[in-house]
Structure 1
Amino acid sequence: MRKEAWLGPSIQIDPAFAYYRDRSADSVARELKQAGYRSIRYFVTREDRVDGRLVEALKRHGLFVWAMTLGNGTYVTDHLPAGWERWRMELLKPPKDGYTRLSPHSEGYLDWKRRTLVRLVEKHPFDGLEVAEAYFPEWDGLATGTYGDVGPLAITAFRSYSGMLPPEFVHRTSPAYYKKDRARYLAWVEFRVHAVNRFLARLVNGPGGIREARPELRIATWSIAVDAGRDPVGAVRELQGIDAGEMIAAVRPDLHVLQTHWPDWMRQRLPADYARRYHPFAEPLRRLYPELPLALQTDIGSLRQMRRSAAWTRRFAETAESLGYASWTAYEYSIGGWMYEEPPRAVKASRLEREAVRIDFNKRIDSASAERTEHYRFRSTQGEQITLPDLSTAADGQSVTLYSEFFPAEPFAADIRGVQDTPDRWLVTGCLANRSDCSIVVPGLP
């Protein structure tokens, strides 16, 4: 596949979301293709439940398909093998956020993750694979207690690495308290960076790893960027074990992605050009690896108060391009602010056959309203009314197919009013539906 296909505009999708259910894979692929994306990042939340038909449909429509998985844990555990509990990270103060954090120090977890990802890319025709969020928790974790791994796995691994016990993080009177024994703490910081990069390198490049199974597969690494403090690069390295330069050296990826960290993406009034503040993260990588493409990731709607509009997203993309990023992506397609704000709009009309016309919309439409024939009026290109007494309809995702024996052979216009979108399938609940008020020209028969 051409290099341009895996660079340029990209979007993350989570097919477990209601927006993607109860519709054909082809309708999802057409919607994403018509939205202008070149590549799709399929968020694999469970490696054993990937929609292979969707992957194939995306590829049929000329989209480059990444498998994107998480490195430091999982939202569900019922697919993990017996004894997986031994893989857990231990944190100073475990958060109750529904996420199970798994330790890169666990050989069992590493082996399982490697074998699972190999099976994934051997079973499904993904074009690329990326392991995001392989970092340790958490930003500001030493203050909040969401900090780890500090459990038995980390203790054993650190003793092997340094010959010492880990620093003390709770008892301030201890001689080993991390603010007192700086040598021990600095060794601990290096150990955590080493652990993250070792984990990723063994997944990708190790014996029985991903590159051995699928050497042609594109590989992307992910690190985090944040606009905070005087030395955000050093803070990310210290608190979360992320050193992007060392990660790239260990994994040798085809692409590196800077992921917007939560202190930034959660901001309600985050400027669309905020990536200009990520210069300290991007420029050292460009100096070290001038041939390596960089990408930028953002979040467009995980919280009600920070849903980003289409205009905001366009400005973000323009900024990324102006700053020299080869690609950009966003989490997640179906949760952006425009989904809640913009009405359904017809974007393409196709003659499937003499008696069938498919109309594609810019977003998913409500099947019940889309199949009501009174929402459609037809006229010639000269404005004369066209009557279709036998008109019938069938909706699928973002499209509706119209059937009639009386469609003109020449081009004609369809006026579409009252077709609703799908608030019941959006992430943020309690929102009102938008209704179409648009027209589109149906091409003539060839």
Structure 2
Amino acid sequence: MIRRLLALLLTAALALTAAPAAADIPKGRNLRAQALNGPSIQIDPTFPYYQNRSPASIADEIARAGYRSVHYFVTNEKRIDGDLVRALRSRGMAVWALTLAFGSYTVEGYPADYPSWQQKLLSASQPGFYSFSPWSADYLAFKKRSLAEVIQKYPFDGIELAESFLPDWNGISSGFYGDVGPLAEAAFKAEHGLEMPDFTDPASPRYYLTDTARYDTWVDFRVAGVNAFLGELVRGQDGLRQARPGVLVGSWSIAVDAGDGSVARERELQAVDAPAMIDAVRPDIHFIQTNWPDWLKPDLAPGYVAGYRPYVDQIRRSHPTLRLGVQADIGSTVATARDREWIASFEAAATELGFSTWTAYEHSLGAYMYREAPQVKAVTCGPRRITVHFHKRVDAAGGAFTVRSSRPVAVREVTVDGNQAILRVDRLPRGRFTLGIEGVKDTPSLWVFNKTMPANTVPAGYTVSGSC
């Protein structure tokens, strides 16, 4: 008992010493409130678009796009850019650590026996991705330690457990159905005294469409397993709530508009029961993620989220005051890249449905990257420099900047930091001035898709006003 008490005290002390400092936050900003309300965006800092530029320039670009919070997609819990987290917060944006509950793109830092934690799918494979079983006690213990380190080491405002479901929509027919491995099988036998249903042999007496009572028990078992894992991860001994008291926690479920019965089908196929998940986790906010059968439609209407009302109503019946968020995909394929008009209409539909916030995957994948020429959002002055803040990353090679003011100002050198062009000048203009810009382009080579398309260039005669 004494050793356990000492461990709890040490955990609390670490949490207090690692808690985010408030000194870097602009006055009047309540990042906790911003994390739960208003527009937000997902970023994956491992993409080339975010590489070889300063964290401050990334924060500048995101802030000038009007977002109140950022969901930092943590693809490797051992490699997080703390400077970027701090830069985003210093610009007045809340920052979530967006993690995956049952999956990872890397096993860096995992013990040698990690393969024994993995899920087994019916017949499909997922090259480059590792799926872990909710019934692995060793994985649960590892995930607790890993995420505790994340929120104690870095000043994230919140942590969220995305993709908290089992694969997949129509997974039985596609082969992407799990977990059907030894961990799930053993747990089902221990809890219910039954062998796992058979999903491949119609002649088997255990075939899931034949022995429907067994299958119904299996469906309930999967839901309970997912939510028990999440509840223990967040609220259990050495869980996230103990690791850093007060940190925001977001739970995530998934939705698809597949007509009547969609909510029940998500529960059956992917073990998604949002009200039960919320009961287990007790989050500060719950997000509904758009499932791939919806976002993969090139002609998906931005108001599609209205079709998620049954999911919202289901949650509201038992959790009427919990804040809800919704996630869209704005460009995981070239054909499904969404423009600003689409995003604005999606936001309006989400707000009408009662969501307090929305987010989208991913900032650098939107159609605006491919279609819009660089636009100046602001011009600022510093010691012998004028900084031009564009709305996207730029390449100023071959470009020209001309300062027209009440006294001659010569541009001596131009350097680029992400979305910012820094003009070194012989002296600053007095008061207001006009800045002419020619030949500045965006950066197709750094995009995930459309790398070979012609760059978008500022239009001829492009000018902006500034003041020093």
Q: TM-score range, shorter-chain basis?
A: over 0.9
2:401 aligned with 1:376: yes
- Superposition deviation, residue 378 in structure 1: 2.4
1:192 deviates by 0.4
d(CA) in 2 for partners of 1:73, 1:411: 53
In 2, the alpha carbon distance for the partners of 1:142 and 1:113 equals 28
Instruction: Tell me how far apart the structure 2 counterparts of residues 207 and 262 of structure 1 sit (CA, whole Å).
Output: 35
User: Which of 114, 117, 121 is matched with 2:147 structurally?
Assistant: 117
For 2:31 and 2:160, the matched residues in 1 are separated by 19
Match of 1:436 among 432, 436, 458: 458
Determine helix, strand or coil for the equivalent of 2:115.
helix
Residue 181 of structure 2 is matched in structure 1 by 151
**Aligned: 1:180 with 2:219:** no
Please say if 1:192 is aligned against 2:222.
yes
Q: What code does the residue aligned with 1:364 have? A: R
Q: Matched residue of 2:253: which SS?
A: strand
Return the offset for 1:41: 0.3
Partner of 2:286: 256
Paired with 2:293 and 2:50, the residues of 1 have a C-alpha distance of 29
Match of 1:361 in 2: 390
1:295 aligns with 2:325: yes
Please tell me the residue identity of whatever aligns with 1:187.
Answer: T
CA distance in 2 between partners of 1:209 and 1:390 (Å): 55
Partner of 1:436, secondary structure, is coil
- 1:395-432 Cα deviation digits (max 9, x unpaired): 10000111212332211011212101000111113222
Task: Give the gaps of 5 or more residues in structure 1.
Answer: none
1:387 deviates by 4.4
In the alignment, the residues of structure 2 paired with residue 279 and residue 263 of structure 1 have an alpha-carbon distance, to the nearest angstrom, of 17
Q: Mean Cα displacement is larger for which, 88-97 or 211-220?
A: 88-97
Which of 407, 412, 417 aligns to 2:438? It is: 417
What is the deviation of 1:172? 1.0
SS of 2:397's equivalent? Answer: helix
Shift in Å at residue 367 of structure 1? 4.8
Name 2:413's counterpart in structure 1: 392
Q: How far apart are 1:249 and its partner, in Å?
A: 0.6
- Residue by residue over 1:354-399, the C-alpha shift from the partner in whole angstroms, topping out at 9 and shown as x without a partner, is x211110000011534xx4xx112224xxx7x64345222210000
Q: 1:390 to 1:412 in 2, by over 3 A?
A: closer
* Partner SS, residue 145 of structure 2: helix
CA contact (8 A) 2:72 2:98 kept: yes
After superposition, the C-alpha distances for 1:56-109 in whole angstroms (9 at most, x for unaligned) are 111111110000001121122233221101011111112244322111111111
Which sits farther off after the overlay, 338-347 or 285-294? 285-294
CA distance in 1, matches of 2:81, 2:243: 21
Q: For 2:395 and 2:134, locate their aligned partners in 1 and report how far apart those are by CA, in whole Å.
A: 44
Asked if 1:407 is matched to 2:428, the reply is yes
Distance 1:96 1:296 in 2: 26
Whether the 8 Å contact between 2:252 and 2:288 is mirrored in structure 1 is: yes
Are 2:246 and 1:222 equivalent residues in the alignment? Answer: no
1:341 partnered with 2:371: yes
Q: Select 1:231's aligned residue among 255, 261, 264.
A: 261
Whole-Å Cα distance in 2 between the matches of residues 167 and 390 of structure 1? 73
C-alpha separation between the residues in 2 aligned to 1:88 and 1:128? 27
Matched residue type, 2:397: A
Matched residue type, 1:67: A
CA contact (8 A) 2:403 2:410 kept: no
Decide whether the 8 Å contact of 2:302 with 2:342 is kept in 1: yes
CA apart distance, 1:229: 3.3
Verify the 8 A CA contact 2:403 2:411 in the aligned structure 1: no
Relative to the length of structure 1, the TM-score reads 0.95
Equivalent-residue separation in structure 2 for 1:287 and 1:158 (angstroms) = 30
Amino acid at match of 2:446: R
Q: Percent of pairs identical after alignment?
A: 43
Does the CA-based 8 Å contact 1:347-1:440 persist in structure 2?
no
Letter matched to residue 376 of structure 1: F
- SS of structure 2 residue aligned to 1:249: helix
Give the TM-score taking structure 2 as reference length.
0.91
Q: Confirm or deny: 8 A CA contact 2:263 2:310 kept in the other structure.
A: yes
Instruction: Give me the whole-angstrom Cα distance separating, in 2, the residues matched to 1:307 and 1:4.
Output: 30
1:116 CA displacement? 0.1
Counterpart-to-counterpart distance in 2, 1:206 and 1:361: 46
**Structure 2: any 5+ residue segments left out of the alignment?**
1-29
8 Å CA contact 2:390, 2:419 repeated in 1 = yes
1:426 matched to 2:447? The reply is yes
What amino acid does structure 2 have at the position aligned with 1:175?
P
Cα RMSD after superposing both structures = 1.3
**Distance (whole Å) between structure 1 residues aligned to residue 246 and residue 382 of structure 2:** 36
* Whole-Å separation in 2 of the counterparts to 1:208 and 1:367: 50
Separation in 2, partners of 1:209, 1:367: 48
TM-fit CA distance, 1:329 = 0.1
Instruction: State the secondary structure of the residue aligned to 2:302.
Output: coil
Q: Which amino acid aligns with 1:302?
A: S
User: What corresponds to 2:92 in structure 1?
Assistant: 62
In 2: Cα distance, 1:116 partner to 1:339 partner: 34
1:201 to 231, 235, 260: 231
Aligned residues: 435
* Cα distance in structure 1, aligned partners of 2:307 and 2:259: 11
CA contact (8 A) 1:138 1:240 kept: yes
